[in-house]
Amino acid sequence: MSMNLPFRLNFLLWHFACVFAVAVSICLNATAYAQLREVESAPSQEKMEGLMQQAQQHYENGELGTAIETMQRLLTMQRRVAGGASVDTAQLLVMLSDLQRQNEDFAGAETSATEALQIIEPALGKNDWRTAETRLHLKDVQIYRELTPKQRESLKQAEELRQKQRKFEEAGDYLKAIDFGKKALEIERSILGLEHPQTAETMGSLSLSYSTIHDFQAAKPFAREALRIRELLFGDEHPEYADSLVAWATLATSRGDYQDAIKSLEKALEVYQQSFGEADLKVLQTLDDLAKNNASMGRFDEAVAHYDRALNIAERAVGKMAPAYQLMLNNLATVYSDQGHYQKAELVYKESLALIVQSQGKQSSSYTYCSNNLASHYQTMGAHQKARKLYEELLYLQEQAGGKSHPAYALTLSDLASLCSLEGDFEQAEALLRQALELFESRIGVQHPTYATCLGRLADLRLAQADFVDAGRLFQKALEVHKQSSGEGSLEYARSLNNLASFYSSMGDEAKAVGLYRQSNTIVRKIHGDEHPDSAISASNLALSLASMGETEKADATLQHALSVFKVNFGESHPKYIQALVSLGRLCLDAGKYEQAKTHLQHAHDLVLEVFGDENHEYLNVIRELAKLAFWTGDFETGQRLLRQAIETSTTISGEQHPQTFGLQSDLATLFYARKDFARAERLFRDSLHAARAGLDTAAMIQSERQQLAMAANIRVQLDTYLAMVVDAEQYQTRAFREVLRWKGATSVRQQQMRTVADDKELAPLFKKLQQTATRLASLSRIFPEPENQDSWKRQITELTAEKERLEAELSRQNATFRNAQDPVTLEDLLTAFPPDATLVDFVEYSRPNPDEVTNKDHRWVRSLVAFVIRKDQPIALFDLGPTAPVVKAIDTWRQSFGTSRDGIAAGQSLRKAIWQPLEKHLEETELVLVSVDGVLGRLPLQALPGKKPNTYLVEDHRLAFIPVPQLLPSLVAGQPPEPAANSLFVMGDVNYDADSNQAEKIASNSLSTAMVRGSDTYFSNLPGTVGEIATIQSVFSQQADASSADVMSLGQDEATEQAFREAASQYRTLHLATHGFFAAADKQSALASDAKRTGAQSVASERDQILRGFNPGLLSGLAFSGANRKPELDQDDGILTADEIAALRLDHVDLVVLSACETGLGEVAGGEGLLGVQRSFQVAGARSTVASLWQVGDVATKLLMERFYRNLWEKKMSKLDALREAQLHLLNHPEEVLGNEAFRGDRRVRPTKNKTQPNRLSPQFWAAFSLSGDWR
């Protein structure tokens, strides 16, 4: 009979070479296996099997002589069975020759190899791959014969090293396996040379080991070189070459290049079929690999077709009891599961497991692999108990098999941890993940994607626990591992980017999330194209963030396309299709398209119940949106029922302390509020508010300022809805103020605390780097890039912004003072700090739900104002001041004439009636009124509102002291700042804005002179009026008894630079800056490009401002210093000190900053945080008090006001509040000092408004612009 034994059978693999299993274990030709089965009862066959096993055993025992004798007996029997020489005889001769070579019987080895070649070449021809392989074996024998004994001994050592390599690979310790393989390769290269089959074989094994740990950079050269050597030695029609093609395909698959993998596999399949015929295990394995790669590309039909073909071949060739058939059946089930064909998948999974149990038992690796797939399938379906049972069984079996140190055991731990996290069992989830990470680290290293995936799961767990600090760190670490191991163009890296984006999205930082989602989507689409499910998943995530930012049309189109892709590839029962339906429903809800929303959500609801049941996150998501739909369409009964059901489900799955559960409780509270059930609503609101605030406080420890603001804005709706309920309920005022106290200004307070790191020697360099980065970013922001450089400029802005935010977040994380300063200021702390006979008025702007327009998306929320009045030993009063829209309109009208025209007077009376009159009865006996404004009121000087009596102002009725936020009151009254000197003054004015500038490079200024106005366009004109202003201030200061010339620093002309200010500012108690200021408001052209005709360069500037506004509003306001008119250069001071740069200073020793410039009190509105501008930046930097302006101010009025202010402050020893108030009252009652001034009449830019009703009083235009904020004493 004929026995087609395999060529180049290495004796190290003889333990796989029993004839009865050879087809499965050593890739014996399946046709020969079938022939053997036909005669397997023959006595000669049984003897041959026995001799083969004996030879194997002798070889493993090191008994080479006995193994040779046994092989010779086997060969004799083969000759007799075959009736003479045959191809099978030649193959056994090659095996005998290899044994003789190892026994150093080179003459016998050469004789056996020569006889084999003489048999096989005539039988198969010179070009047959088996002839070529026999010829190579003969050449090997001749090479070994010529080696020295020392070289032969070295090759034996190399063989032992390869054995150890395989041993550690089987144990999952790939790092050690690689080490042994590299040592073996070094020996083989030095003795056998580079172009030798054994060298190529070792290179191939090293390539696979490196691929397993995802070190593709190391794997690729080995794989490429093995492929080249085998093609050179064997040609491209040889199975050895096909083996290298498969190894190359494995590498391509691992790095996500599925198309390249498929190309290599198709070529390998062709070679295998020509060499072995269709019924061969290598053919089956290649079909399996082709199916997996097609499935990864979303080509599920092609994948199923490959599996159908492979299973038909396997069933005919080896039967269903063969491991190959069972594993491919299980892989087919995975394809069905990925398609969303869950019932079909479950049936096929169970069939494959039943066959494995029957033929291999539960201790087999096949059972572990296939059970894990089924458990994952159950987890996807929401059948958590079934999944848990399988995972726990697998862990038990792996432990029994002694596999607790194998990566497969760690993988099962990680999978079970993921399930525990979904069920809300966070404690067990963390314990399992920690154990898994330790195993992965020791076995595959910390640069392996599987290790990174496990890190990502731990990050998800931290996020579920609202531990944003650790979550962010772990997400970043996982991303870095994927970047190093897989590369920035890989799917692993793209998925890690997606996870990080989801993290930022969960914190409300949609701007950051969108950038990361786009980056991820670009990578995925480049690999898969637009119609692949992975591309659709990535695009869907991007769409949701875009929708959160208001880009609903783009989001809707993206989700619609994703839905169609999911339907084509998965069908409607797949989770991704259902999730897309829910997202579309949510989008329609937000857009007020309730019928469309109902259609999408109800369909999703039905699918979830059909596929997953009612105890899973998919069901939770859809009923939450259905409850919202019911609420917004007025069906409160249905909404309440659904929300209670959702809370119950969330509690079961995630626990009652989970943020998701609190969010649902907030939804239910809103519903109770709508039904006027205030008692139940109030309790639920406060519980959810406390949970949300705890999350904010935790997240802040790793966030930049912008990210803190974004997260607070994202969940502010909870506080706003609670405030609306309290207003309507007309109770719970004290509780409401406690919540507002914690929220309002929280980010500003944290930023102040974070700046204290300058005192920490270890962290001071990090703070210095933050300052340098802020300066570089400011310089770059003012550069006008040419159109061809726009992309480069945007990229640099993005990179510097990211670096600035990273440094802020790192400082927050490391600063012990910041970490420990989390005890909030309480109402009791506030009242203890109250000055005698003072009253606090806290204005709060918020979005109020409109119960009458709940079904109208455009009117569902109304921006509104409330005011809290807080007095010692009195109940807290809350006043509903109504919508902000009429207030905004009145402020705009008032500012046009500063309340002196007919419309302006009416606007002033309207404002008084709206925002002050309701509070007056609580302020009648109060002299000192502490005021904290918010939102729109930041543009209005309250002291200029009409007073109680006709033709008076509020400044005449009360001492109005403005504080940034109530949280800061205790620290403001706690004491004076540490003083570097008893008293000291820094003044700056008479600045040369043209210093070192090229006149030809100036941007054309407005034709109207700017010489007398503080604040203007990009071109800053000189301010000659500031010469007298700073001279007067210095003179007033020097007249103090305790003053000396050493206590004053004055900078002007070319010396008034940014760098000089940065170096000196922290050393002085009072800073007076008489210079231009600017503020680029969102509703007007940028202060850096204001020509109404909008030249091309200025259009670029406008686009630039919009880019900056999203991430860096602090770059759009600032102060002008020497050289501000020169062309900006990167990494050079540009003469503009932005709000961001100011905030990065350390000014804790500064008691007072006077900003004698226009609009220094304005900035971007940030709800509950004031205006993000120059004044706030000085406060964040640590200055206790600031005086800033709300509009352009002329030199004359400024000089007179400031001179009197300082005389009051220094000579008369008044408090800062009284000093400024008296100066303002003086100008108010002595208009001739301003209007009759000769310098004033020459000021062409200042168009004074005449006070027609009060001709003997000065318009607020000249005295009310400046306001004091901070410590008023």
In the prediction, which pLDDT does 946 show? Answer: 94
Rounded to whole angstroms, what are the CA distances from 893 to 340, 848, 943?
A: 61, 25, 17
Please, which pLDDT band fits residue 1014 given cuts at 50, 70 and 90?
very low
Please, which pLDDT band fits residue 858 given cuts at 50, 70 and 90?
low
pTM above 0.75, yes or no: no
Residue 1147 to residue 980: CA distance in whole angstroms? 11
Angle between helices 239-254 and 216-234 (to 10 degrees): 160
Structural domain includes residue 89: yes
Whether pLDDT at 889 is above 50: yes
- Two tokens, residue 321: 């009891």
Residue 554 to residue 376: CA distance in whole angstroms? 34
Identify whether residues 1164 and 1024 lie together within a single domain: yes
Evaluate whether 777 touches 1115 at the Cβ level (below 8 Å). Answer: yes
- Two tokens, residue 977: 């700042």
> What are 1070's strand-pairing partners?
985, 1152
Rounded to whole angstroms, what are the CA distances from 875 to 686, 831, 868, 870, 915?
A: 20, 12, 11, 7, 20
Rounded to 5°, angle at Cα 1181 from 1179 and 1187: 35
Whether pLDDT at 1017 is above 50: no
User: Between the CA atoms of 403, 382, 476 and 444, what dihedral angle is there, to the nearest 10 degrees?
Assistant: 10
Q: Please compute the mean of the pLDDT values over residues 771-793 and round it to a whole number.
A: 67
Please, which pLDDT band fits residue 203 given cuts at 50, 70 and 90?
very high
Evaluate whether 352 touches 333 at the Cβ level (below 8 Å). Answer: yes
Q: Which domain holds residue 1167?
A: 978-1194
Q: How far is CA 295 from the centre of its chain?
A: 28
Q: Read off φ and ψ for residue 1249, nearest 5 degrees.
A: -90, 130
Residue 1071 to residue 1078: CA distance in whole angstroms? 18
Residue 329 to residue 356: CA distance in whole angstroms? 11
In the prediction, which pLDDT does 952 show? Answer: 92
Sheet hosting strand 1077-1079, strand order edge to edge:
1077-1079, 1117-1120, 1136-1138
Identify whether residues 867 and 992 lie together within a single domain: no
The type of residue at 614 is D
974, with CB counted inside 10 A (0-12, 13-18, 19+), is exposed
- 3-state SS, residue 958: coil
In the prediction, which pLDDT does 422 show? Answer: 76
Helix (H) or strand (E) holding 1173: strand 1170-1173
Structural domain includes residue 963: yes
Which of these three, 970, 997, 1023, is where a domain ends? Answer: 970
Could you tell me what percentage of the chain is helix, strand and coil, using 3-state DSSP and rounding each to the nearest 5?
65, 5, 25
- Two tokens, residue 349: 């999974």
Structural domain includes residue 769: no
Identify whether residues 40 and 13 lie together within a single domain: yes
The type of residue at 392 is E
Identify whether residues 881 and 1012 lie together within a single domain: no
Highest mean pLDDT out of 384-393, 752-761, 1025-1034: 384-393
CB atoms within 10 A of CB 671: 24
Q: What is the DSSP string of 130-147?
A: HHHHHHHHHHHHHHHHHS
In the prediction, which pLDDT does 745 show? Answer: 77
Strands 1152-1155 and 1185-1189, how do they pair? parallel
DSSP state of 13: G
User: Between the CA atoms of 202, 208, 211 and 213, what dihedral angle is there, to the nearest 10 degrees?
Assistant: -90
Q: How far is CA 956 from the centre of its chain?
A: 53
Q: What is the DSSP string of 178-204?
A: HHHHHHHHHHHHHHH-SSSHHHHHHHH
Residues in Cβ contact with 359 at an 8 Å cutoff, skipping those fewer than 6 apart? 321, 322, 323, 326
Residue 774 to residue 926: CA distance in whole angstroms? 44
Q: For 727-762, what is each residue's pLDDT tens digit?
A: 999 999 999 999 998 888 777 777 776 666 666 777
Evaluate whether 371 touches 394 at the Cβ level (below 8 Å). Answer: yes
- Two tokens, residue 1210: 């220094």
Which of 274-283, 635-644, 648-657, 1086-1095 bottoms out in mean pLDDT, i.e. has the lowest?
1086-1095
In the prediction, which pLDDT does 334 show? Answer: 93
Q: Please compute the mean of the pLDDT values over residues 209-229 and round it to a whole number.
A: 84
Q: For 824-836, what is each residue's pLDDT tens digit?
A: 788 998 888 888 8
Identify whether residues 98 and 7 lie together within a single domain: yes
Please, which pLDDT band fits residue 357 given cuts at 50, 70 and 90?
very high
- Two tokens, residue 560: 């619609």
Is pLDDT larger for residue 1061 or for residue 36?
Answer: 1061
Evaluate whether 1121 touches 1142 at the Cβ level (below 8 Å). Answer: no
Whether pLDDT at 723 is above 90: yes
Evaluate whether 1121 touches 1157 at the Cβ level (below 8 Å). Answer: no
Which of 94-108, 158-172, 281-295, 1033-1047 bottoms out in mean pLDDT, i.e. has the lowest?
1033-1047
Evaluate whether 693 touches 742 at the Cβ level (below 8 Å). Answer: yes
In the prediction, which pLDDT does 1111 show? Answer: 47
SS3 track for 1039-1056: CCCCCCHHHEEEEEECCC
Q: How far is CA 564 from the centre of its chain?
A: 27
Highest mean pLDDT out of 3-12, 743-752, 1195-1204: 1195-1204
Identify whether residues 990 and 915 lie together within a single domain: no
- Two tokens, residue 1009: 């002179």
Tell which residue, 375, 1116, 1020, has the closest CA to residue 781.
1116
Identify whether residues 963 and 1073 lie together within a single domain: no
Whether pLDDT at 980 is above 60: no
Rounded to whole angstroms, what are the CA distances from 682 to 714, 718, 724, 860?
A: 21, 12, 11, 21
Q: Read off φ and ψ for residue 952, nearest 5 degrees.
A: -125, 170
Which CATH number does the domain housing residue 81 bear?
1.25.40.10
Structural domain includes residue 13: yes
Residue 500 to residue 478: CA distance in whole angstroms? 9
Strands 1117-1120 and 985-991, how do they pair? unpaired
How many distinct structural domains can be found in the chain?
A: 3
Identify whether residues 1066 and 924 lie together within a single domain: no
| Mean of per-residue pLDDT scores for the chain | 81
Evaluate whether 1058 touches 1135 at the Cβ level (below 8 Å). Answer: yes
Which of these three, 1194, 1213, 1229, is where a domain ends? Answer: 1194
Q: What is the DSSP string of 252-266?
A: HHHTT-HHHHHHHHH
The type of residue at 286 is T
Length of the chain equals: 1273
Structural domain includes residue 1083: yes
Identify whether residues 935 and 982 lie together within a single domain: no
> What are 1189's strand-pairing partners?
1266
Structural domain includes residue 576: no
Percentage of the residues of the chain whose pLDDT score is greater than 70: 82
Identify whether residues 985 and 1026 lie together within a single domain: yes
Is pLDDT larger for residue 820 or for residue 677?
Answer: 677
Residue 124 to residue 678: CA distance in whole angstroms? 93
User: Between the CA atoms of 726, 729, 734 and 735, what dihedral angle is there, to the nearest 10 degrees?
Assistant: -60
Which of 239-253, 709-723, 1162-1176 bottoms out in mean pLDDT, i.e. has the lowest?
1162-1176
Identify whether residues 965 and 985 lie together within a single domain: no
User: Between the CA atoms of 416, 422, 426 and 430, what dihedral angle is there, to the nearest 10 degrees?
Assistant: 40
Which of these three, 953, 970, 987, is where a domain ends? Answer: 970
In the prediction, which pLDDT does 110 show? Answer: 92
- Two tokens, residue 457: 């799961």
Structural domain includes residue 382: no
Strands 1077-1079 and 1117-1120, how do they pair? antiparallel
Is pLDDT larger for residue 702 or for residue 686?
Answer: 686
Identify whether residues 928 and 1048 lie together within a single domain: no
Residue 269 to residue 286: CA distance in whole angstroms? 6
SS3 track for 513-563: HHHHHHHHHHHHHHHHCCCCHHHHHHHHHHHHHHHHCCCHHHHHHHHHHHH
Q: For 1056-1083, what is each residue's pLDDT tens digit?
A: 998 899 889 888 999 999 888 776 544 4
Highest mean pLDDT out of 523-532, 576-585, 996-1005: 576-585
Helix (H) or strand (E) holding 1079: strand 1077-1079
Structural domain includes residue 191: no
In the prediction, which pLDDT does 464 show? Answer: 76
